[in-house]
Amino acid sequence: MKKIHSITGIAAIMAMSLATVAQAAVVFQSDFTGADLGTGLTSAGAATDIWSLDAANDRAEFNDGDGVQNSRASLYTSGTYQNTGGFKLDVTFYQAATDLNIFEVALVETGDGDFKTDTGSLNKAMPVYSIGFTASGQAATDNSGPGLVLNDGSTAKNNHTAMENLSNAQTYSNTAEQTLSMTITATSWSYSLNGDPATTGSFASGFDTSKSYAFVGFIQGNNSDANNVDGAYFSNITLTAIPEPSSFALLGGLLALSAVMVRRRR
């Protein structure tokens, strides 16, 4: 009986250790249930264009406040996050139009001051270090998207060479709700749309995990339809920090210690 109790205790310690690591990994999450955009999220754009809470449907919805053409705004985390292990981003969104100039979901480095709330970061308009999924727009057109895009921020505005099209292998629909899962480390990337098997790859020159990143969702309508962006929304955003190598080392040590204790009890 003592052996059973000892093993049970060890299992409980391991479970608590694993739970602690898992809980510590989520750095931002919102499903817009009983929340508002002041809880870790901010919206800003051109004129009165803005993402606002749709409490009836538990989502952040875009509203073209000025009713003019070329409406645009960002929905972004007011905090920034740094983690050398990398990040996993899970987002559920709806584009709401097929003829947008830009629709992007990205992790954007904000420390160099280039990030602007009324301009996309994955296209030719802004030289800012970022990575994410461009569903519609200039980056998609220039790089045979929609797909995963890296902007290394190294070239001037309206120069396309800063953008690298990582993949457009996943099937995307601009007429239905989409769920994106994207994982980024210092050396590799993967992404999946709507639960499909992940598309994976490696960075030719690595990804800079020493920078601090914010989640940014950006939309920009076209120049011919004043209201074509209304109805776009986000219904879930979860940003998870991938455990540092030291965390895995800690768990490995606990597993080894548990094995030793079990053998001794036997």
Give pLDDT, residue 137: 62
Burial class of residue 34, CB neighbours in 10 A (0-12, 13-18, 19+): exposed
Confidence of residue 142 (pLDDT cuts 50, 70, 90): low
pLDDT digits (tens, 9 = 90+) for 161-201: 677 889 999 999 988 999 999 999 999 999 999 999 999 99
207 confidence band (pLDDT: 50, 70, 90):
very high
Which pLDDT belongs to residue 261? 53
pLDDT, tens digit (0-9, with 9 covering 90-100), for 88-117: 999 999 998 877 788 999 999 987 777 888
The predicted pLDDT at position 60 comes to 96
What pTM does this model have?
0.82
